[in-house]
Amino acid sequence: MVNTSTSAGLVGVVLLARHGDRLSTVYQDPATYNSTQGYLTPFGAQQEYQLGQFLRNTYLNPGSPSYIKGINTNVVDVDQLYVRADAGGGDVILDSAYALLQGLYPPTPNGTITLANGQVVTPPLGGYQYVPVESLEYWQAPSLTSWMECEYFQAHLGRLNSGVVFKDLTATAAPFLEAVTPYLNGLNNSFLNMWNIYDYLNVQYTHNKTFYNNFPKTLLDQARYFANQHEQNVFTDSVINGVGQIAIRTLWPEMLWSLGNMTLPNNKVKIALTEVDYKPFISLFNVTNATVTNPNISGIADYASVVALELSQDTQGQYNVAMKFKNGTDNELRTLQFWGSNSISLDKLVSSIAWSTINSTVNWCFSCNQTVLRGCSVFNYSNDPFLNPTSATGY
């Protein structure tokens, strides 16, 4: 294990945050996992806002052991933040990012300025702080919705849906599925539909009083258990460059570049945040072997969960990364292990992971056997690995 002693304060942090409570998504087809986002609720906005306050208390508080050196704690310096969110369909992910930022940098009268003519002006809403968020539409690039319209991912779903693991789970889940059917309002009760079943029940249980009064909570717990099993298979693979890991493979490049850039002398960005769905968490914990020492993180992360990759520099000048996780409203960031270590050098992280990542649209097209949709039609495939599929990355 590397020496984890650090000179005081972090250099920066890369965050992945899950969106907050929402209304149902449009049905996530078990054969394709194509779906459209739902809408953030006031409850979800509160969850994200509180996550922002938690992160403020962790990273922007000079008294905290995880304080980020040199970061503005009161009036935001927008150059110190890099925030991205998937903007497709409903608003749940993009608005979650805004709510989180409102907790991270709350309104402050210190944003007040004096104009040339002497007039004093405070921003609206008592000094609201405007932080730019780079929103990525579905049609702009596949990186934040990389599993959709990815043919090899659909082949992976096909193998799972007809494979022995799901056959066994179908048998184990049969009594649950039978018991829950009267509450499903006609939704298909096949185990293959387990994500939609859980999501429907969870949304109803949270927002529908009649449902809440009639539905046995134990069935919700079982739904969560089986949905965890289901999604854990869908968003992992036997190898770290497998297509089942695609949700994290397209996020890694920005994460590693952000960490790398934080080591450069002229760098300004100290917090790089990507607001996402539950999917990349599952893949991330699998590819880093974090689940070996913490088996209970292999399921779905709750709403407003966060993963933090904390970058520090030790007394020898080496840059190290620690991975921490807060599951929804838990009140602490727990340290996870990268391949058995509480912290590894940035160089080691990059050398372990970089080869498995998908860092551009054209590489995504190859990794998915997609030549038409999602911007893939502009590339030249005459040398393509489709003619020799074993050479395609990640199949």
Positions that interact with ligand NAG (CB under 6 A): 30, 34, 36, 74, 88-89, 108, 110, 138, 148-149, 188, 190, 192-193, 204, 208, 210-211, 224, 228, 233, 236-238, 257, 260-261, 264, 286, 289, 291-292, 294, 296-297, 299-302, 327, 339, 359, 363, 369, 371, 380, 382-383, 386, 389
Tokens of 254: 């920005």
46 vs 267 by CB, closer to ligand NAG: 267
Half-sphere exposure of 57 (CA within 13 A, CB side): 10
Category of 89 on φ-ψ map: left (φ > 0), alpha (ψ -120 to 50) or beta: left
Distance in Å, CB of 52 to ligand NAG, minimum: 16
User: How far is the C-alpha of 186 from the C-alpha of 193, rounded, in Å?
Assistant: 12
Distance in Å, CB of 7 to ligand NAG, minimum: 20
233 vs 250 by CB, closer to ligand NAG: 233
User: How far is the C-alpha of 295 from the C-alpha of 291, rounded, in Å?
Assistant: 5
Distance in Å, CB of 302 to ligand NAG, minimum: 5
5 vs 216 by CB, closer to ligand NAG: 216
10 vs 368 by CB, closer to ligand NAG: 368
- Are 102 and 49 within 8 A, CB to CB? yes
Stated as kind and residue range, the H or E segment containing 210 is: helix 209-214
R_g of the chain, CA atoms, integer Å? 22
99 vs 203 by CB, closer to ligand NAG: 203
5 vs 134 by CB, closer to ligand NAG: 134
Tell me which amino acid residue 7 is. Answer: S
User: How far is the C-alpha of 364 from the C-alpha of 367, rounded, in Å?
Assistant: 5
- Residue 68, phi then psi, degrees to nearest 5: -90, 120
Distance in Å, CB of 228 to ligand NAG, minimum: 5
Answer positive or negative: Cα dihedral of 143, 377, 28, 36: positive
4 vs 214 by CB, closer to ligand NAG: 214
Looking at residue 60, what DSSP letter applies? Answer: S
Tokens of 133: 């968020």
Instruction: State how beta strands 344-345 and 319-326 pair.
Output: antiparallel
Distance in Å, CB of 92 to ligand NAG, minimum: 13
Q: How many residues does the chain have?
A: 395
Placement of tokens 């409102």 in the chain: 102
- At residue 71's C-alpha, the angle toward residues 65 and 75, to 5°, is 125
140 vs 261 by CB, closer to ligand NAG: 261
**CB-nearest residue to ligand NAG:** 260
67 vs 339 by CB, closer to ligand NAG: 339
Distance in Å, CB of 281 to ligand NAG, minimum: 6
Distance in Å, CB of 152 to ligand NAG, minimum: 7
- Are 342 and 36 within 8 A, CB to CB? no
Beta bridge pairs of residue 308: 15, 324
Full DSSP string of 287-317: HTTHHHH-GGGSSPPPTT-EEEEEEEEBTTS
Distance in Å, CB of 170 to ligand NAG, minimum: 10
Distance in Å, CB of 361 to ligand NAG, minimum: 11
